[in-house]
Amino acid sequence: MRQYELVERVTSYDPQADEDLLNRAYVFAMKAHGDQKRASGEPYFSHPLEVAEILTTFKLDDASIAAGLLHDVVEDTDISQEEINQKFGDDVGSLVNGLTKISKLDLFTREAEQAENLRKLLLAISRDVRVLLIKLADRLHNMRTIDFVKPEKRVRISQETLDIYAGLAGRMGLQTIRDELEDIAFRILDPTAFETLTEQLKTLREENGNVIAKIEASLVKKLKKNRIKGHVFGREKRAYSVWSKMNQKQLSLGQLSDIYAFRIIVAKPIDCYKVLGVAHQSWRVVPGKFKDYISNPKQNGYQSIHTTVIGPQHNRIELQIRTEEMDRIAERGVAAHGFYKDIKDKESAEAGVAIPTATSNAYRWLRRLVDDLSAADNPREVLEHTRLELFQDQVFCFTPKGDLIALPRGANAIDFAYSVHTDIGNSCVGCRVNGRHAPLMRALENGDEVDIITSSAQTPPAAWADAAVTGKARSAIRRATKLAVRDQYAGLGREILDHCVERANSRYTQAELELATKRLGYDNVKDSLASLGRGEIKSVDFLAIMDIEPSETAAKPFISPEDEIEQGKLEIRGASPNLPLTISRDTGAVPGERIVGIYTMGQGVTVYPVYARKLQEYEEQPERWIDLAWYSDTSTRMYPARINIVLHNEIGALADVTRVIGKNGANIENLSMETRARDFYNLDIIVEVNGIKHLTKVLHQLSASTFVSSATRCQG
């Protein structure tokens, strides 16, 4: 395409276009790329020129066409970004800069980098959606010429196109670009399947004869008979679309019902429903194959009526009924109205700019997706959320007030609640669907009215994250669960701190606690107390930061082998007064239970309960065994015992364990938590008691808790 032809194309749909800008961009890009060649051997300038031509089919503004011509100049030549800004202005410069940054992103790096690059991509296009339109035109021309690329790179680019760019094109309503990108990527990624399916479609076409023309003629005749003005276009569905449906429904090509689709274009929305009535009166309707996207548009602004009927010659045919305006949006999406820039609704209203509803809905989807991604906690969530948003079909449900909520197909009431508001989701305890109580996990259907039942005392269970379908719900549940667990540990940390401060005959103020939190490097008090509860900070260190002198017992929260405890401090008899006694940290030992000692040269005697597994290691060394006994079954001081608790993974479970232990006069000196399964946790606790009866009572009370599966004494 020559220079004057490009300018004429743009001015044909935009008479106010800046011809000088287009001419300068054309000449500048041609000179900048000079003698550069593409992999095909063609002059490199043919690529940006083809990109500009694709953009003219979407009737983009002059700045977008200029940016399409210049999009590779900064990256592939010696021209700087500053020079582009100076010669072509900030608008064109900003677009070129956004495209240059995107071209440097590798969406097939390892997971963490891939997620971050995907976030940057979406952020760039959310600032100015024209960046996406130019990038899609760039990718489309690259895919059209991909056969000249090396095989390994060809596969990588095709997979990236299918995973990211085709989905983005679809979500922004650019269906023609999506279809072509998917078909080319399909041909590269699975050439055998592509060739086989193409041949089967060709055979089917030959067997059915001129079936499309015959059905078109029949539809036109029906419209004329009912005095409805309209146009009918028939087409065979594209290879990738057919392949996806075959995979999704596990059907052969012969079992697929709607290979043929017919588009009926009428003047007004009311005519769409008239055509629907004619079609349903003329032919038998296929149950469950009716969708009204006019009253409930898709998030990308798509509007149409879809229905499948048993048409002439007993062929199943899909009818898509829409107005010319709806058809333009269906084909060109966000490009249909020339709404490109990031203009807020309020600012636009004040400036007198009318934002088409369909286009703004598609753009709002993109901005909302970026906002949701910013709340994701890790790379896996970013990728998971984006793929869910890009590729799932939708169902449309309603709140009791009649507000429309669009959700991915397969979503449930949990997803619905979080779509309404995060607080609604976090406090959800049940739901009514169409006036009846229903399970939260049940998949919602089109038209369902969902009433969420909430409670201020509710916190979402961790298992909900696996049940939810939307990325927004999953992220919010994981965040709420993490905060709830943090709060439980913070409560435990507060108990440990209060206990140690009480032992030290001291006290503290909230201001002193906040100051200590800052000194420890934490953002807030709950985080510092949670670290104390998890055992990441020792209580002794916490007290030291608060300038509180710990008591002797506070300084030694449990009796460990590393602490050289004098025999006089333990109420145990049977060992030499000259040998230091320590209690095994693997099991602990409490008054009232049978104990033995194991002598170690240079370390003294370690005390074990007689059932400790560790004692098996010393069966062949009887000379090291020392028979020990407690002076009494109970004591005025506290001794450590190690216990294991299998705890249900529910909010409030850890708090209940600490409540039971505290209520029974025992004290937690150390606690660690390990995941055992999705629904259970293993708690390893060193608890202080005054004797075996006291310990037995604590274990009995713990076992009675509804949150506890089992509570047993550790045998080391």
378-410: per-residue pLDDT in tens?
555 555 555 545 545 667 788 888 777 878 778
More confident residue, 268 or 408: 268
- What angle do the packed helices 471-503 and 379-391 form, to 10 degrees? 150
What is the percent of the chain where pLDDT is above 90? 27
Does residue 354 have a pLDDT over 90? Answer: no
For residue 302, the SS3 value is coil
* Span 543-561, pLDDT tens digits: 888 888 765 544 343 333 3
Which residues have CB under 8 Å from 355's CB, separation 6+? 339, 343, 345, 348
Tell me which CATH homologous superfamily contains domain 3-193. Hypothetical protein af1432 (1.10.3210.10)
**Whether pLDDT at 251 is above 70:** no
- Domain 198-335 in CATH 3.30.460.10? The answer is yes
Report the pLDDT value the prediction gives residue 1, as an integer from 0 to 100. Answer: 77
Cβ–Cβ under 8 Å, residues 497 and 542? yes
Contact 229, 266 (CB under 8 A): yes
pLDDT class of 641 with cuts at 50, 70, 90: very high
Catalytic residue list contains 75: yes
CA–CA–CA angle 134, 347, 324 (5° rounding): 55
Burial of 142 (0-12, 13-18, 19+ CB in 10 A): middle
Q: How far apart are CA 132 and CA 103, in angstroms?
A: 12
Decide if 418 contacts 368 (C-beta within 8 A).
no
- Model pTM score: 0.55
- Count of beta carbons in the 10 Å neighbourhood of residue 402: 7
Sign of CA dihedral 372, 373, 375, 378: positive
Task: Give residue 331's Cα distance to chain centre.
Answer: 29
User: Domain 567-713: which CATH class?
Assistant: alpha beta
Average pLDDT over residues 435-454: 89
Q: What is the DSSP string of 159-225?
A: HHIIIIIHHHHHHTT-HHHHHHHHHHHHHHH-HHHHHHHHHHHHHHHHHH-SHHHHHHHHHHHHHHH
Under 8 Å between Cβ of 293 and 303: yes
- What is the CATH number that goes with domain 359-479? 3.10.20.30
Q: Which of 474, 479, 516, 523 is nearest to 497 (CA)?
A: 516
Q: Give yes or no for residue 360 having a pLDDT over 60.
A: no
* Position with higher pLDDT, 339 vs 374: 374
Q: What is the pLDDT of residue 578?
A: 67
Kindly list the domain boundaries of the chain, sorted by start residue: 3-193, 198-335, 359-479, 480-555, 567-713
Over 80: is that where the pLDDT of 651 sits? Answer: no
Nearest to 707 by CA among 488, 423, 399: 488
Measured between alpha carbons, how far is 486 from 375 in angstroms, rounded to an integer?
Answer: 18
Two structure tokens written together for 401: 């007030």
Each residue of 534-545: pLDDT tens digit?
Answer: 777 877 788 888
Q: Which of 25-39, 111-125, 291-305, 693-707 has the least mean pLDDT?
A: 111-125
Sequence-ordered list of residues with C-beta below 8 angstroms from that of 202, at least 6 positions apart, any chain: none
CA distance 355 to 363: 11
What per-residue confidence (pLDDT) applies to 40?
86
Cα-atom radius of gyration of the chain, to the nearest Å? Answer: 35
- For residues 599-628, give the mean pLDDT: 84
Q: When comparing pLDDT for 384 and 160, which is higher? A: 160
Out of 75, 116, 216, 258, the active site residue is 75
Residues 356, 339 contacting (CB under 8 angstroms): yes
Residue 570 neighbours by CB distance under 10 Å: 24
H-type alpha helices, 317-459:
324-332, 345-351, 357-374, 379-391, 413-420, 422-426
Among 434-438, 498-502, 588-592, the range scoring the smallest mean pLDDT is 498-502
Indicate if the pLDDT at residue 529 is higher than 70: yes
Lowest-confidence range among 182-186, 671-675, 680-684?
Answer: 671-675
State the pLDDT confidence band at 373, using cuts at 50, 70 and 90.
low
C-alpha 307/C-alpha 620 separation (Å) is 83
Average pLDDT on 139-149 reads 93
Residue 374 has pLDDT above 60, yes or no: no
Catalytic, out of 76, 116, 325, 633: 76
* CA atoms of 424 and 427, how far apart (whole Å): 5
pLDDT tens track for 198-249: 888 888 777 766 778 888 888 899 899 999 999 998 887 788 888 887 776 6
Cβ(172)–Cβ(333) under 8 Å?
yes
Residue 650: which pLDDT band, with cuts at 50, 70 and 90? confident
What pLDDT is attached to residue 39? 86
Q: Collect all residues with Cβ–Cβ distance below 8 Å to 217 and sequence separation of at least 6.
A: none
Span 75-101, mean pLDDT?
A: 88
pLDDT in tens, 304-351: 999 988 877 677 788 999 999 888 887 776 655 444 433 334 334 433
CA distance 117 to 111: 10
Please list, in sequence order, all residues whose beta carbon lies within 8 angstroms of the beta carbon of residue 63, skipping any fewer than 6 positions away. 21, 89, 91, 92, 95, 130
